Amino acid sequence: MARSLNKFIKLQRFLVGCKRLYLTKVWGMDIHPTVVMSLSARLDKTHPRGIHIGEGTYIAFDAAILAHDMSRALKVDTRVGRNCFIGARSIILPGVTIGDGSVIGAGSVVTKSVPPGSAVAGNPAKVIKTGIEVLKFGRFKDRVT
């Protein structure tokens, strides 16, 4: 009989809720209550009020979202829209806006703003597809059965 980690899903959701509460109440980040993120996702605590994440967005493991750049003495707002997917180990640089319904590929380094309904990937990230339609958490609409 195969063992499943699904029995820990309630614990994981509780811990993510605690992390989101901590980031919003203690650090002052603007994170919608429906955002789901990995416990290893890293959000900038040097300029926490510059982080804005919209509803229905998913942030995968080891993704980093920055709102400051010490080398340029820069503290700016970084925005992730609604229903986006931020892939594992991707980096969103300061001042970038990710448009609603966009998907960021794993390992991407996003240096420029992403238009709504776009899929981007690479280092630096480039738009590989536009006009995509996604559901909550950036799930592709045409892939749902």
pLDDT, tens digit, for every residue of 12-70?
A: 889 999 999 999 999 999 999 999 999 999 999 999 999 999 999 999 999 999 999 99
Cα separation of 74 and 77, whole Å? 10
Per-residue pLDDT band for 140 (boundaries 50, 70, 90) equals confident
Overall average pLDDT of the 119-134 stretch: 96
Q: How many CB atoms lie within 10 A of CB 5?
A: 7
pLDDT at residue 1 greater than cutoff 50: no
Q: Residue 97: name the closest of 131, 61, 64, 52 by CA.
A: 52
Q: Are 72 and 54 contacting, i.e. CB atoms less than 8 angstroms apart?
A: no
Strands 58-59 and 36-37: parallel
Percent of the chain whose predicted confidence (pLDDT) is above 70: 94
Total length of the chain: 145
pTM: 0.90
Bridge partners of residue 91, in order along the sequence: 64, 109
* 108: phi then psi, degrees, rounded to nearest 5: -75, 150
Mean pLDDT for all residues in the chain: 93
Cα separation of 5 and 80, whole Å? 29
Q: 141 burial class (0-12, 13-18, 19+ CB within 10 angstroms)?
A: exposed
